[in-house]
Amino acid sequence: MNAPTSLRASLLSLALLPMLPVTAAAQEMDHSKMQMPEQPASTRQPEKQTPQKKRTKPTTDESHAGHETKKPAASPAQEMDHSKMGHDMGTMPEDEPSMPAMNHAGMQHEMPPTPAATIQPRTPIPPVTDADRAAAIAPSHVHDMFDNAIQSYVLINRLEVSDADPGTAFAWEGQGWIGTDLDRLWLRSEGECSDGHTEAADLELLYGRSISTWWDLVAGVRQDFKPGDSQTFAAIGVQGLAPQKFEIEATGYIGEHGQTSARFEAEYELLLTNRLILQPLVEVNLFGKNDSARGIGSGLSTAEAGLRLRYEFTRKFAPYIGVVYERAFGNTADLRREELEDVDDTRVVIGLRTWF
């Protein structure tokens, strides 16, 4: 019984041996049992239904159309879906496929530039209030204390000698004041001596009141000692600092006998260095009527122009050297010619300027 059974098994094996490769090949090509891993529901793309094209000719590779399965391209939202990423390097959700950790060190997050108008300081500057303005101004009584302080000043602007004909001439011009910034008592004087004789001298006592930042209104009396007999004049005028730093004096006079006159003087200080200063000066005198006893004619009487160069060893001690030109005009020139005097004169002067 066993021998025939073994013989039948051997024959059956020989009969099935040629069919083994075919079965293996069929088993390898059985794609019906192949399954692709399902994509997560959150990342699954909706299927687009496209109309079926009419086939005109079957291709030899059509039976293997399902062999190549391409992974659908991930959308930008899927690539950068940070909601599913564990930035804390923790475990990923169990229902999601693991994703490689993103390297944020190499990523550049560019923020849009902030407009300049929206940039605000860390500590905003509060608006200025009336209380702030009041605090920035010193109390008024402090200014009153300094304005009411009594001050004084004396300036000898010209104290000079020159070679005259005959002998040596000596001249002076100066002024001083005492008072406050608004109210002052002024003293002004000028004159000239030649060969020991006084040829001209006057003294003015004036009250000055400040009428603007750089200007004073002055009024008072003037006393003429020479030439001729002594005379008294009432005086009124202005003095101050004009634009471009010109020092101006303009004064009118009325004499006790009805004489009238006016004097205008302007000077300027040009700094060549901090200590070397060039000072031009112009002085003009006018009279209302003739006064032959004093050698004065009506109209424009005399004009003088000087140029002095001084060196300030200190601010209070400044010797100088200069040249002065003087000329008589009109009736005054005629009176000088009658007295056989020159109508013009040029002289070199040496002097000293000081103040205290």
Tens-place pLDDT, residues 44-60: 444 444 444 444 444 44
The residue that leads in pLDDT, 38 or 225, is 225
Q: How far apart are CA 229 and CA 267, in angstroms?
A: 30
Q: Judge whether residue 201 has pLDDT over 50.
A: yes
Give residues with Cβ within 8 angstroms of 274, minimum separation 6: none
Please state the rounded mean pLDDT for residues 154-173. 89
The pLDDT score that the predictor gives to residue 170 is: 93
More confident residue, 9 or 86: 9
Spatial separation of the C-alpha atoms in residues 143 and 17, rounded to whole Å: 130
Q: Give whichever of 138-142, 204-208, 238-242 has the largest mean pLDDT.
A: 204-208
110's enclosing H/E stretch is none
The mean predicted confidence, pLDDT, of the chain is 77
Whole-number Å distance between alpha carbons of 353 and 309: 11
How far is CA 139 from each of CA 64, 68, 145, 150, rounded to the nearest angstrom? 104, 96, 11, 21
The predicted pLDDT at position 167 comes to 75
What mean pLDDT comes out for the span 4-27?
A: 55
| Mean pLDDT in residue range 84-109 | 52
Give the separation between CA 227 and CA 339, rounded to whole angstroms. Answer: 14
d(CA 190, CA 280): 17
The terminus-to-terminus CA distance of the chain in angstroms comes to: 161
Report d(CA 158, CA 317) in Å as an integer. Answer: 12
pLDDT at 68: 46
Residue at token pair 């073994």:
6
Is the model's pLDDT at 291 over the cut of 90?
Answer: no
Radius of gyration of the chain (CA): 58
User: What is the rounded distance in angstroms from the CA atom of residue 59 to the CA atom of residue 45?
Assistant: 29
The dihedral through the CA atoms of 78, 79, 82, 84 has a sign that is positive
**Separation of alpha carbons 266 and 239, rounded Å:** 10
Going by pLDDT thresholds of 50, 70 and 90, the confidence category of residue 34 is: low
Q: What are 103-158's pLDDT values in tens digits?
A: 555 555 556 665 555 566 677 788 889 888 888 876 655 545 555 789 999 999 99
SS3 sequence of 278-320? EEEEEEEEEECCCEHHHCECCEEEEEEEEEEEEECCECCEEEE
Strand segments, DSSP code E, in the chain are 151-163, 168-179, 183-194, 197-210, 215-226, 231-242, 246-255, 260-267, 270-271, 276-287, 299-311, 317-328, 344-355
pLDDT-based confidence at residue 69 (cuts at 50, 70, 90) = very low
In the chain, what are the domain boundaries? 147-355
Considering the chain, what percentage of its residues have pLDDT values greater than 70? 63
Give residue-wise pLDDT tens across range 339-352: 888 899 999 999 99
For the domain bounded by 147-355, which CATH number is listed?
A: 2.40.160.40
The pLDDT of residue 2 is above 60? no
Residue 244 banded pLDDT, cuts 50, 70, 90: confident
